[in-house]
């Protein structure tokens, strides 16, 4: 009987739990949830497991406070870290979360040296860069979730504005995973191949772009806590692309080696995800305003890197 892939999730908070739920519901892999809080990952795993008979999924889920349970994972998702609170920027999280990521990545690589790492901890671009440098793995195996989440928010808001099915709306967000520095690309957004500019005025497109940039902050202000359902679904989309070798084009945060004219920085760009993790970066031609916005976004990420003390 073939063995299912194994996905471990470090951090059994809301995003980690949502990711586990989505992954289990699609029967993509057996899942291990880990956390430093005793009982939390065990309880979360058991809760999801008990939904299996109703929802019709049949995978193994386990919770643990020990990295030994994560050994030999195919994919490890790192969500560990403190979450953003109302009025707080992702950048303000850097000092605390850098220490957490250093410790977590060292343990993960020791337990699962062949795993692909998917980073979620904020500030995402800086934490992905830190993980890449600390892990000592090829860049193909250290990937941050950025545009995967930001793009689904962009598509959602476009569909709401258009009054059309979100299934037919496609859009792309590149750049840093920060409120002011992400770069939605409305010029390339389409409805079944039809440019969205055919349907919406520039004023309405600008409004959608502005709402996309504050997509996470809007949820945080409403709930007084960070969003988690869409973030978990975006992680699941990345896991599925890797485990099923789907060659999906998903904008993600990766280490650049000259692409888009940038080096030695992790930032969101369109990427092909498959069995090897990052299999290819797609360089799309940007117009002058898009290029300027992307350059400013990269500069904002670089400003955070000295704080990592690498």
Of 21, 170, 177, 198, which residue is the catalytic one? 177
Strand order in the sheet with 169-170: 169-170, 190-191, 194-195
The CA distance from 171 to 244, in Å, is 23
Per the annotation, the verdict on 21 as an active-site residue is no
Please answer whether residues 237 and 142 qualify as being in contact, where contact means their C-beta atoms are separated by less than 8 angstroms: no
Q: What is residue 115's DSSP assignment?
A: P
> In angstroms, how far is CA 303 from the centroid of its own chain?
21
Please answer whether residues 129 and 305 qualify as being in contact, where contact means their C-beta atoms are separated by less than 8 angstroms: yes
Evaluate the omega torsion of the peptide bond into residue 123 and state whether it is cis, within 30 degrees of 0.
yes
Among positive and negative, which fits the CA dihedral 238, 231, 271, 169? positive
Q: What is residue 57's DSSP assignment?
A: -
Cβ-based neighbour number of residue 193 at 10 Å: 7
- CA triple 167-231-60, angle to 5 deg: 100
The catalytic residue positions are 177
């Amino acid at each position: 009987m073939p063995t299912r892939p194994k996905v471990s999730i470090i951090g059994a908070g809301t995003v980690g739990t949502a990711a586990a739920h989505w992954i289990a519901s699609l029967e993509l892999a057996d899942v291990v949830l880990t956390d430093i809080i005793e009982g939390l990952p065990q309880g979360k795993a058991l809760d999801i497991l008990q939904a299996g008979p109703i929802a019709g999924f049949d995978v193994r889920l386990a919770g643990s406070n020990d990295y030994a349970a994560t050994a030999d994972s195919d994919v490890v998702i790192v969500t560990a870290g403190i979450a953003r609170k109302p009025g707080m920027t992702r950048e303000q999280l850097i000092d605390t979360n850098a220490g957490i990521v250093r410790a977590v990545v060292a343990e993960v690589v020791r337990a699962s040296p062949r795993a692909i790492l998917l980073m979620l901890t904020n500030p995402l671009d800086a934490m992905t860069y830190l993980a890449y440098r600390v892990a000592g793995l090829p860049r193909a195996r250290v990937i941050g979730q950025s545009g995967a989440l930001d793009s689904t928010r962009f598509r959602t808001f476009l569909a709401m504005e258009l009054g059309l099915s979100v299934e037919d709306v496609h859009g792309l967000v590149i750049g840093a995973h920060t409120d002011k520095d992400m770069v939605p690309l409305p010029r390339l957004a389409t409805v079944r191949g039809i440019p969205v500019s055919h349907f919406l005025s520039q004023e309405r497109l600008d409004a959608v772009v502005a709402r996309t940039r504050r997509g996470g902050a809007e949820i945080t202000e409403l709930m007084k806590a960070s969003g988690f359902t869409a973030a978990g679904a975006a992680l699941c989309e990345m896991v599925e692309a890797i485990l099923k070798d789907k060659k999906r084009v998903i904008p993600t945060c990766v280490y650049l080696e000259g692409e888009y004219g940038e080096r030695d920085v992790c930032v969101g760009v369109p990427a092909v995800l498959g069995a090897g993790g990052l299999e290819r970066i797609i360089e799309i031609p940007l117009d002058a305003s898009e290029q300027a916005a992307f350059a400013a976004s990269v500069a904002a990420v670089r400003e955070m890197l000295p704080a990592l003390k690498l």
